[in-house]
Structure 1
Amino acid sequence: MKIDSVILHRLRMELVSPFVTSYGAYTDRETIIVQAIDSDGHVGWGECVAFATPWYTEETVQGAWHMLQQFIIPPLLQQEIKHPHELTQLWSGIKRNAMAKAAVEMAVWDAYAKRQNKPLYQLIGGTRHEIKVGVAIGLQPTIDHYYELIDHYLEQGYERIKVKIKPGQDLSLVAALRERYPQLPLMADANSAYTLEQTEELKQLDPYNLMMIEQPLAADDMIDHAQLQQNLQTPICLDESILHAEDVRKAIQLGSCKVVNVKLGRVGGWNEALRIHQLCRYHHVPLWCGGMLETGIGRAHNMALATLPGFTIPGDISASSRYWQRDIITPEVTVDQGSVRLPDQPGIGYEVDEQYAESLTLDKLVMR
């Protein structure tokens, strides 16, 4: 296949409600949508999940736009590609910038699946056409706000709840939630809010039977995570620490975690995500798919990822209405009895509402 053109769309979408982490509150989501068109007219879609500010990783929307325009897309255009796996080598001279690379790689994989007339999830080896899903809840001002949200999501059928924690909003929160929901599959996400010096604090969460504590320490604290895991009964899940399969190998060897979160954008796209999946399956390390406040395009790719057999924990793949009054795909993603069913159409299986997306567009660039 040859990619004749790539169109970048920078959008801003208002969130239904603010999403609050230990780093701050977000009321809207700026994102880059990538549209790749091959020589036979197949259109693939991808999404760059970098944020407007570098709170999650060093990548930002503005920086990704520059990298896409100047370095990542030019070598792809008019390049003969037999399989999307070849993109890894094509971009081997470009260090890091995983989210920018992933956005284009997603679009190429989508176009490739459409060329093969197969759903993307089947093409990558997915074994389920329906996946169990969970939902993430940002920091809330009162415990009653948590109760209200969790009751609402449980009524919708979500099978697993993740709450954000930080020092001062951790033990009392988890204790209150566990008292009200004694059997609820519950996990906590710290977004690197702790240090090894707070081990005793984190150990106090052990009695509450959490599924995991996600990324308690800094992204580059692989050794400290290993030391922390030795002192915790609760499994540690690594998120920001895992940028590629080599990080997974080191984490397993060191004992830094017992669970791995995979986000396509964070690891650089499908090729690296598939390597991580293979490695974790070999070592019997459970996986789950994280979310990055994606539009329906990124969400559809996440859904395909979560069909792989190693993804045994419900991921953060909520309905479109969880974040958006109106999504940019049709039909929108819906949750039924705690599950999402994947469409049978080729590629990601959803149509992009290009007219609506255009109304949200801040900037657009066509590259040929």
Structure 2
Amino acid sequence: MYVIEHLYLTPVSLKLKTSFDTAHQHMSTRKLAIINLIVKNVATDETKTGLGELQSFDDYRYTLEAQATSLDIIRNVISKHLKKLYFSSPRDFAKKLGEVMFFGSFAKSAIEMAVWDAYGKFIGKSLKTMIGGLHDDVPVSIALNINAGVPLIIDAIKKGYQRIKLKVDAERTDFKFLLKILCQFPNQQFSIDANSSFNYHNAKILNELPKNIAFIEQPFAENDFVDHGLFQAKSSQLLSLDESINNIHDVKTMIALKSAKALTIKQGKIGGITAALDAIELCNQYNIQPWIGGMFSSNIGRSVDLALASLSNITFSSDISDSRRYFEKDVTQENFYVESGYITVPSRPGLGINLNESFTISEIIF
């Protein structure tokens, strides 16, 4: 049996090398928070440190749980439950935390991530091994800006990316130009991320996209399941939900309403690693294609996404970037590099990463 002895919290702001535009926002820095848990084995009094990452954004344009909200939940709600929460495994921890908290998916994900890390260190197993991952190297995709042009696409193809994700906006994207670009690369797999910028009436243009589009991610409103279902029923295009999915119950709603035939799995958003595994299992049961999405995470979250992407039933290449791509400086000693379109999955116990030696904890919760 295990218990959490101490919880430390450190907000960080990572500067992007180049600003990034989506239909939601213009981003030049990425605000995150690093979780440090001291977990004790009750039987032996041995302790291990677990690392987690809070991945909510600093405003409310992506979801209603922003960084400030998540931090408040951790400081004033979750912390009160953790002091008395004894657990036998990360899955047991997730179950017990879920019984006392039905909200705060980002906040719960950050804490549970640190529990998985500490637990893996106790038993000497990597996250990949603990969750049943099979692949040592996983194929990854690259997400390009709304205004990405042919040179960036050619560069991504040369680097071996099996899928290229193009961010689009219903009002700002020149779709005639986009179609022309897509048709120049008929053998390259693409996906389109609309970030909820369409409505049911102006989405007809999406049916004109060529066959090298693997799927269209979240064309309609973030709280919508109905219009997605209506469009999916009539379209040959594969839809994948992202913004609509904030917990395992949303996955069940998507399945019941047949809103999409693919699902973007973001463990930092859906409630944690356990919730992500449960969502993937539901997808398998109902013939939905799961894949691992990205959250502009640091190497901490990136290590988790790589482990999830190593599962045998992940359909498409995952949105996991090279450590050198986004930030001027990351928070860990380790980095993850793309080689011929693949990244190696961490194999050391827990998440397999360590914080930079210069990292200092800023806040003691208990």
Q: What is the rounded CA distance, in whole Å, between the counterparts of 1:70 and 1:354 in structure 2? A: 29
Aligned with 2:47 (options 31, 41, 44): 41
The residue type equivalent to 2:129 in the other structure is Q
CA contact 2:165–2:193 (8 Å) conserved in 1: yes
What's the CA shift string for 1:226-277, capped at 9, x where partnerless?
1111222110111111223332233233221111110012111012111111
Q: What is the rounded CA distance, in whole Å, between the counterparts of 2:357 and 2:161 in structure 1? A: 30
Matches within 5 A, 1:65-214: 65-77=71-83, 79-86=85-92, 87-140=94-147, 145-168=148-171, 169=173, 171-205=175-209, 207-214=210-217
Q: What is the rounded CA distance, in whole Å, between the counterparts of 1:325 and 1:157 in structure 2? A: 23
Q: What is the rounded CA distance, in whole Å, between the counterparts of 2:264 and 2:97 in structure 1? A: 26
CA contact 1:215–1:238 (8 Å) conserved in 2: yes
Q: What is the rounded CA distance, in whole Å, between the counterparts of 2:349 and 2:138 in structure 1? A: 18
The residue type equivalent to 2:331 in the other structure is I
Q: What is the rounded CA distance, in whole Å, between the counterparts of 2:323 and 2:281 in structure 1? A: 29
Identity %: 31
Matches within 5 A, 1:303-342: 303-342=306-345
What's the CA shift string for 1:169-210, capped at 9, x where partnerless?
1522431221321211100000100111113232222x3431
CA contact 1:47–1:103 (8 Å) conserved in 2: yes
Name 1:17's counterpart in structure 2.
Answer: 18
Name 2:286's counterpart in structure 1.
Answer: 283
CA contact 2:187–2:212 (8 Å) conserved in 1: no
Task: Give the superposed CA RMSD.
Answer: 1.6
Name 2:43's counterpart in structure 1.
Answer: none
Residue 74 of structure 1 aligns to a residue in which SS? helix
Name 2:223's counterpart in structure 1.
Answer: 220
Q: What is the rounded CA distance, in whole Å, between the counterparts of 1:209 and 1:161 in structure 2? A: 10
CA contact 2:264–2:291 (8 Å) conserved in 1: yes
Residue 80 of structure 2 aligns to a residue in which SS? coil
What's the CA shift string for 1:265-294, capped at 9, x where partnerless?
211101211111111112222111111100
CA contact 2:12–2:32 (8 Å) conserved in 1: yes
Residue 186 of structure 1 aligns to a residue in which SS? strand
**Which shows bigger deviation, 303-312 or 115-124?**
303-312
Residue 123 of structure 1 aligns to a residue in which SS? helix
CA contact 2:299–2:334 (8 Å) conserved in 1: no
CA contact 2:128–2:347 (8 Å) conserved in 1: no
Matches within 5 A, 1:220-299: 220-299=223-302
Residue 211 of structure 1 aligns to a residue in which SS? strand
Q: What is the rounded CA distance, in whole Å, between the counterparts of 1:354 and 1:60 in structure 2? A: 28
Relative to structure 1, the CA distance from residue 170 to residue 202 in structure 2 (aligned partners, 3 Å threshold; closer, same or farther) is: farther
Relative to structure 1, the CA distance from residue 60 to residue 249 in structure 2 (aligned partners, 3 Å threshold; closer, same or farther) is: closer
Residue 6 of structure 1 aligns to a residue in which SS? strand
Residue 225 of structure 1 aligns to a residue in which SS? helix
Name 2:62's counterpart in structure 1.
Answer: 56
Residue 274 of structure 2 aligns to a residue in which SS? helix
Residue 82 of structure 2 aligns to a residue in which SS? coil
What's the CA shift string for 1:284-333, capped at 9, x where partnerless?
22111111100000111111111122212111101111111222122211
Relative to structure 1, the CA distance from residue 122 to residue 10 in structure 2 (aligned partners, 3 Å threshold; closer, same or farther) is: same
Relative to structure 1, the CA distance from residue 63 to residue 248 in structure 2 (aligned partners, 3 Å threshold; closer, same or farther) is: closer
TM-score by length of 2: 0.93
Relative to structure 1, the CA distance from residue 221 to residue 343 in structure 2 (aligned partners, 3 Å threshold; closer, same or farther) is: closer
CA contact 2:105–2:271 (8 Å) conserved in 1: yes
Relative to structure 1, the CA distance from residue 298 to residue 170 in structure 2 (aligned partners, 3 Å threshold; closer, same or farther) is: farther
What's the CA shift string for 1:91-135, capped at 9, x where partnerless?
433332100110001000111111110001110111212111001
1:162: how far off? Answer: 0.3
**Which shows bigger deviation, 178-187 or 102-111?**
178-187
Name 1:26's counterpart in structure 2.
Answer: 27
The residue type equivalent to 1:16 in the other structure is K
TM-score by length of 1: 0.93
CA contact 1:175–1:208 (8 Å) conserved in 2: no
Relative to structure 1, the CA distance from residue 262 to residue 173 in structure 2 (aligned partners, 3 Å threshold; closer, same or farther) is: farther
Relative to structure 1, the CA distance from residue 278 to residue 190 in structure 2 (aligned partners, 3 Å threshold; closer, same or farther) is: same
Tell me the number of residue pairs that the alignment of Structure 1 and Structure 2 aligns.
358
